[in-house]
Structure 1
Amino acid sequence: MSKQALIVIDIQNEYFENGNLPLVNPVEASLNASQVIEHFRAKNLPIAHIQHLSADPQAMPIFVEGTSSAEIHENVKPLEGEKVFQKNYPNSFRETGLLEYLKENEVTEVIITGMMTHMCVDATTRAAFDFGYKCTVLGDTCASRDLEINGKIVKADDVHHAFLAALEFFYAEIKSTDQFLNGAS
C-alpha cells in the first residue's frame, strides 16, 4: 500500500519581495503549498519542511542562519512537532536526515513543493526518484527566477516550465495543486 509524504523545500523569506534572491510569483506558490500542507495535516500524513542555510555566509550572504531572510515564510510555517530539516546543498537528502525520516514513516511516494524549481526542487526530485520513491511535483507550488547564460536572459516562466518538463519526462508526475487535491484520496 502506498503512503505519501509532503516535502516543502526552502519556502523562505529570502525568495520573497524583500529578500536577497527574489523569485517570480513566490507568494502564489507559497499559498498553493499552504493548501497542500493543510491537506497533509488533516490526513495526519508526514510533512518534511526543508530550510536552506548558507554553508559559507562569507562567500554568499544569503540564507544566513539566524536572520529573518533564512526563516521559513509565514505562509507555510511548520507547526510544533512537524519535522524541519536544515540543509546546505540543493539536494534535500544530502547530509540531512530526510531519507531516514521517510523510511521510518514507511513512505513510498513523495509530493514535492518548493523553491527554486531549477535548483533544489529539481535536485531533490531526482534524488528521491533515485532512492526509489514515486514522485509528484506540484508545479504551481514552485517558483523560479530569471537566469542568464552567455549574455542571454531566460525568463523565469521558461526556466520553471523547462525544468518541470524535464522532470516529467522521467522522474516525476507534474500536477497542479487543484489536480492533486481533487484527485487525492
Structure 2
Amino acid sequence: MSTTPRRALIVVDVQNEYDRGGNLAIQHPPFQETVLNVAKAIDAATEAGVKIVVVKQLAPETSPVFAAGSHGGELHPEVAKRPRDHYVEKKLPSAFTDSDLEEWLRANAIDTITVIGYMTHNCDLSTIIHALHMGFAVEFLSDASGSLPYANSAGYASAEEIHRVMTVVLQSRFAAVLKTDEWVGHLKAGTLPERDNIPASYQRALSKQAA
C-alpha cells in the first residue's frame, strides 16, 4: 500500500500586517526571510501538483489590525501573485472554524496538510491542533512562519522564545516540523518527514538534563 501522502499546502494569513511597517510586524524569524520561504513552498507545491489553499484573516473596518479595506489586511504580494486552488476567509484563529476548509479537503481526498504562514503561536497553532483532531496528518514549516514578542499579566516572552517553544511542542505530538528545503526534498523524493511523540521527547529532555 502506498504511503505517499495526499497533501495540501495551507498558506495562513500571509498579509501585509506582518511585514515591516505593519501593526504586527513579525520579529522571529524575520518576515523578509520567512515570506521568501512561503513563496518557495508555494512554487514547489505548484510544481509537484500539491493543491494550495490561501487563508486570509478578516476584521471590521474599525479593527486596529487586518481592517477591511486596509493595506495591512491585504494578502502580501508574494502570495497574491501566485496560483491557488482554494481560498478561505476567516475571523477566528483556526482556518477550519466557520469555513468550508474541511469539506474542501475531504472532497479532494487530502489526508495531510502542510501549514505555513503567520503566526506560529496563534493561527498556525490553532489550525494545526484543529486539523489533528479532525484526523489529518500535519506538517509545519518552521522557517516559513514566525512570531511576535508578548508581554502581559502572565509575563514576558521574546519572539524567538515563543517560536522555538511552539515548534518543539508541535514536533512532540501535533505535526512534523521541518524546514522548507527539507519539505521540498520530501516532495521530490516521495518520502515522509520524521514524526515524534511525547514520551520520546520527554526522555530525550531527561537525558539532556542529566548530561
**TM superposition score category, shorter chain reference:** over 0.9
Structure 1 gaps of 5+ residues are none
Pairwise CA distance, 1:81: 5.7
Shift of 1:40: 0.9
Does the aligned pair in 2 maintain the 1:49–1:78 contact within 8 Å? Answer: no
| 1:37–1:81 distance in 2 versus 1, CA, 3 Å | closer
Partner of 2:122: 119
Q: CA RMSD in A?
A: 1.5
Kindly provide the CA deviation profile for residues 45-97 of structure 1, in whole angstroms up to 9, marking residues without a partner as x.
2111000011x443x32111222211111122254663211100001000111
**Match 2:53 to one of 48, 51, 54:** 48
Aligned to 2:80: 77
CA 1:176–1:146: 2 relative to 1, 3 Å = same
May I ask how many residue pairs the two structures share in their alignment?
183
Residue 150 of structure 1: how far off its partner (Å): 3.1
Offset of residue 152 of structure 1: 3.7
1:1-185 to structure 2, matched below 5 A, reads: 1=2, 2-24=5-27, 25-54=30-59, 56-58=60-62, 60-77=63-80, 79=82, 82-150=85-153, 152-184=155-187, 185=190
Contact 2:51 2:84 in 1 (8 A): no
Structure 2-normalised TM-score?
A: 0.82
Once structures 1 and 2 are overlaid, which stretch shifts more, 18-27 or 83-92? 18-27
The separation in 1 between residues aligned to 2:53 and 2:186, in whole angstroms, is 22
> Structure 2 vs 1, CA of residues 132 and 153 (structure 1 numbering), >3 Å: closer, same or farther?
same
CA distance in 2, matches of 1:140, 1:81: 21
User: Which one-letter code corresponds to 2:117 in the other structure?
Assistant: G
Bigger Rg over Cα:
2
- Alpha-carbon distance in structure 1 between the residues aligned to 2:39 and 2:84: 17
Distance 1:36 1:70, change over 3 A: same
Task: State percent identity of aligned pairs.
Answer: 26
Single out whichever of 67-76 and 137-146 deviates more from structure 2.
67-76
Quote the offset at 1:15 in angstroms. Answer: 0.7
Question: What TM-score do you get using the length of structure 1 for normalisation?
Answer: 0.93
CA distance in 2, matches of 1:67, 1:131: 34
Q: Distance in 2 between matches of 1:148 and 1:179?
A: 33
Range that drifts further, 118-127 or 67-76: 67-76
**Whole-angstrom CA distance in 1 between matches of 2:162 and 2:85:** 31
| Post-superposition offset of 1:140 | 0.5
The answer (yes or no) to whether the contact 2:53–2:84 under 8 Å persists in 1 is no
Distance 1:81 1:11 in 2: 13
Q: Any gaps of 5 or more consecutive residues in structure 2?
A: 191-211
Mapped partners of 1:122, 1:61: distance in 2: 22
Q: Secondary structure of the residue that 1:69 maps to in structure 2?
A: coil
